[in-house]
Amino acid sequence: MKSLLASKRGLSTVVTTLIILVVSVLLATVVTFYAINVTTTRVQEESIQLYKQHIWHNGTSFAEAGFLIINTGGRDIVMDKITVRGQECVWNTIYYNKTQDTINADLSYEPTLTDGGNVTVGTTTYTITQASDDLILKSGWTMIVYIANPDHVSVSDIGVTIGVTIFTANAQYYKECNVQASA
């Protein structure tokens, strides 16, 4: 009977080590995937969309850019700068209105932009404010933006494609449009 018990052997050291390694690697993989899933579903991302973009020139000496910015992301954004044709726009040339309205109508050329002035989009009139520093846009909100006399836009640019870039703390948003005659 003693010889029968002595002849039985357990798992070898190599097989035991392989089982422990496979189990630990599988466990580490599961924990890693769980952590990635938790962090990516909890993080709210920044995302804005530029719509109804126009750049107009009146044929003599005045150019104007206008567009809508919609914050479609899950967090508020801070716009650090806006460039037209690669040239930074000075804040006091930028006029804006923040709204929760859904804007379906197109923007139109506004010959006079003033702080506290009005712009009409479709049948709705909005009061615009002159920017003085970085612009903040809440999640889900829309901003109407007009830029008076963006640099390097001249009458000879009518029909030429020009890009507008919005810079935020985390990203750059670029969109192109053709320069139009204002009248």
| 111-138 pLDDT per residue, tens | 888 888 889 888 899 999 999 999 999 9
pLDDT band at 6 (very low <50, low <70, confident <90, very high): low
- Give the integer Cα–Cα distance in Å for 114 and 111: 10
Please state the pTM of the whole predicted model: 0.74
The tokens for 36 are 């990635």
Whole-angstrom distance, CA of residue 35 vs CA of residue 138: 29
